[in-house]
Every structure is written in structure tokens, then in C-alpha cells.
Amino acid sequence: AQTVTQSQPEMSVQEAETVTLSCTYDTSESNYYLFWYKQPPSRQMILVIRQEAYKQQNATENRFSVNFQKAAKSFSLKISDSQLGDTAMYFCASGPTERGYGNKLVFGAGTILRVKS
């Protein structure tokens, strides 16, 4: 079974600084996707960034980037130049690439990030 662990229940960062959210996962799949989702206080969950496991290059989306360490099964999210609008709950998720019967995403418990002015 897949598991996703986010060890930081809450974090805070000053505006304009950089923060890293941790995520580790465990899977027996040979290929899989990893995702970071953001859930602002308004509650709509949105996709921040995704990484396909077979790609060695770390994904980047503007101020958001990941540090993907496949051997260590680690997938951390780095937010640069933090903004007040980054305040949200962040979820890490993992799932196999194959559309198999019963395949689905598994989510971590989430990390609350507060950006302070």
C-alpha cells in the first residue's frame, strides 16, 4: 500500500523569504506521479506542481519548485519569495501512473503554512 507522510503539521515564514515543506512517501510502483496541492482558507484545493518519477529533473512552476530524491523517497516543496497569498494548507500526494483498477491518489496529512508580514 502507498503511504505519504508530511512530518510538519504547521510552519511559518516571513514574507519574501524561502520555505521548504517536507514529504516522504512509500510505494511499490515502478512509475508514479507526485503532486503538491494547495488549499487556501477559501477551501478550493488547487494543483501547485507535479513530478513524474521517471524524470530526474526537478519540476518548477514560477516560485514553486520541488526537490525530488527518488532513492530516499522524498519530495519536498520549496516556495521562494513567499507571499501572503501562499498562506494555505499544503498536501503532498502520490499515485501510480497506470490507470489500473483501484488506482488512486494517496494524500498526506497536510502542512499548514502561514506567511507573516
Question: What nine digits make up the cell of 11?
Answer: 510552519
In the list 15, 17, 61, 98, the residue contacting other proteins (rule: CB under 8 A) is 98
Q: Please report whether residue 47 would count as binding other proteins according to CB under 8 A.
A: yes
Strands 111-116, 10-14: pairing kind: parallel
How many residues in the shown chain lie near other proteins by CB under 8 A? 30
Question: At 8, which amino acid appears?
Answer: Q
> Which CB sits closer to other proteins, 3 or 62?
3
SS3 84: helix
| Site pattern 25..44 for other proteins (x: CB under 8 A) | -------xx-x-x----xxx
Q: CB–CB of 9/67 below 8 Å?
A: no
Tally the C-alpha atoms within 13 A of residue 38's C-alpha that lie toward its C-beta. 18
- Under the rule (CB under 8 A), what is the footprint of other proteins? 6, 9, 32-33, 35, 37, 42-47, 50, 52, 91, 93, 95-99, 101-105, 107-110
